[in-house]
């Protein structure tokens, strides 16, 4: 005897009620997550605010907040939502007035590791971003106060809280001292 699970579409995901849970869609299967804790939110804002200001000042594109879905696959649908994301100006202009989820990956996906997330799951998500065209992934580790910058699945560098976070070709000139992000 076999059982089957009805797969959800991105359009059905978009209609789910907001508030109690956060959702992502992986190959049509709904993944339910608890809302992030206060430290997660605090660090995410301390990273996203300077990034957004830099991007807007230099007219480089758009920075998106957590819960912004990016539709990576169709039939079955995969929709992921990084904690912070960036889409370049040339790509952002194309879809500025469109509705629903962004079709494809952002140029930059920033994931702040939650205490409940396993390293294997974070690695799998990083790989999935690269499979679908992201140019850079930042993994923010709250426990160790580091940011790992991936330029490819095989090429990563770790920035500690005593160092400057920067993004070479993707965001030329952007620099942020991580002490400002991780301070108490």
The pair of structure tokens assigned to 161 is 């809280």
Q: pLDDT digits over 88-141, tens only? A: 999 988 877 778 899 999 999 999 998 778 888 889 999 999 999 999 999 999
Say how many residues make up the chain: 184
Distance CA 93, CA 28 (A): 29
The verdict on residue 101 lying in a domain is: yes
In a domain, 11, yes or no: no
Is position 15 within any domain? no
Question: Range of 112's domain?
Answer: 37-182
CATH number for the domain harbouring residue 102: 3.90.1570.10
> Is 6 a member of any domain?
no
Q: Is residue 94 part of a domain?
A: yes
Domain count of the fold of the chain = 1
Q: What does the alpha-carbon distance between residue 122 and residue 127 come to, in Å, rounded to a whole number?
A: 9
pLDDT tens across 50-89, in order?
A: 999 999 999 999 999 988 999 999 999 999 999 999 999 9
**26, part of any domain:** no
Residue 28 located in a structural domain: no
């Amino acid at each position: 005897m076999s059982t089957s699970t009805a797969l959800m579409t991105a359009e059905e995901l978009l209609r789910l009620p907001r508030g109690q849970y956060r959702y992502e869609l992986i190959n049509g299967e709904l993944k339910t997550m608890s809302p992030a804790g206060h430290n997660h939110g605090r660090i995410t804002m301390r990273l996203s605010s300077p990034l957004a200001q830099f991007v807007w000042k230099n007219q480089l594109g758009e920075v998106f907040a957590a819960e912004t879905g990016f539709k990576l696959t169709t039939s079955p649908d995969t929709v992921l939502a990084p904690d912070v994301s960036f889409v370049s100006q040339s790509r952002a202009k194309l879809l500025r007035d469109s509705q629903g989820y962004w079709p494809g990956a952002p140029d930059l996906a920033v994931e702040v590791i939650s205490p409940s997330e396993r390293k294997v799951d974070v690695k799998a998500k990083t790989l999935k971003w690269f499979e679908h065209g992201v140019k850079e992934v930042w993994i923010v580790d709250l426990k160790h106060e580091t940011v790992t910058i991936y330029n490819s699945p095989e090429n990563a560098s770790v920035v500690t809280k005593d160092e400057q976070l920067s993004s070479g070709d993707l965001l030329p000139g952007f620099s942020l001292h991580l002490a400002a992000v991780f301070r108490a």
